[in-house]
Structure 1
Amino acid sequence: MSGLRERKKRATREALSWAAVRLTVERGWDGVLVEDIAAAAGVSPRTFNNYFSSKAEAIAFRHADRFARLADVLRERPADEPLWDAVRAATLSVIDPHEQPPPEGWVDGVRLMTAHPALVAEFAKAAVDGEQVVADAVADRTGDPDPMYPRLVAAAVTAASRIASEEWMRSADAGPIGPLVLAALDRYATGLATPTTG
């Protein structure tokens, strides 16, 4: 029964977070209240407050949760799989490889949403927490007693996500974000070789 209860709680948390993202992108930061998010998720404002302390925390949850799920999958990958192959496979588990290009106006809305000071702070916290979670998973996988290596790998993973997101938001014709994240990780996996020109 506890497993079912936990799944229901997770589903509610995800529904609230997605509603917060969708409504804020569509209406702008000041156009969305906690009551609106709760109604969109089919719960009461009191339920929202049981899960999140603010609208910004609800939005940033999706960012932190991707790193937590990536770490879980990374631990489950075959022990003899090369690390960067495992990282790539774990990343594929938390992005949609068949994602469609965003609807018109979506990227502009995301750009405005993520620039809000309250959300900048929450995303920064989520990135720090997520980086530690990934580092712990890398350490468990490699058994490396040197604390620097897992942290460097985790920093590369979080940087790949951040930089891909920034490039996606800068694009005049943004497609799915997943391929950008994978391309960034692949660059790390090959040692960030200097690009050839000409």
Structure 2
Amino acid sequence: MSREGTTTVAGPIRVLVADDEPMIRAGVRAVLATDPGIEVVAEAADGHEAVELVRAHRPHVAVLDVRMPRTDGIDAAAEIRRTVPGTGVVMLTTFGEDDYILRALGVGAAGFLIKSGEPEELLGRVRALAAERRDAARERVAGLTPRERDVLAHLGGGLSNGQIARRLHLVEGTVKAHVSSVLARLGVDNRAAAAVVAHEAGIPPPPPPEQR
């Protein structure tokens, strides 16, 4: 059941938390853990690490502190939005950081939260942003042909071109062409990213073949 004021999102919402203060990270994780529909998949202590972990885990939402060492939250947000556009970004700030907030919004952050704010604000923002990202994923797959959607579903299941060809009764060269078309239409550069889009759009992987 969704919380009041939020949109129901199927499946767990994957979240990355980045803050150079361990106590803040622990507090954010504890708040998110109160919602069984949210899973913290990674934590980072600086902006550079946050970008690398987002690329590796491709969470629905990244919660970033504005000021962090090595790469600050604003630069990290800009890089995440550039390289992993399927991940939404929420910034953590303190009072008196209005200039940082404006810069963060300018690079594509979806919003900000005051560290001393209510836990429900964090939960509600994460769920709403995840729902927005999934709505965007559904729009991206809407332009695929039925055959391309079939191929995408199999990509979501982690199948190789040869396995997809056997499951769909196609020659492998045709599958390769479909995969290239799917990647281009979705605007992603690899199969793993396409699989994430499939998951976010609610396209389930195909069931395993029946054993004879």
What TM-score bracket applies, with the shorter chain setting the length? under 0.3
| Higher share in helix | 1
Q: Highest relative contact order (Cα 8 Å, sep 6+), 1 or 2? A: 1
Q: What TM-score comes out, normalization by structure 2 length? A: 0.25
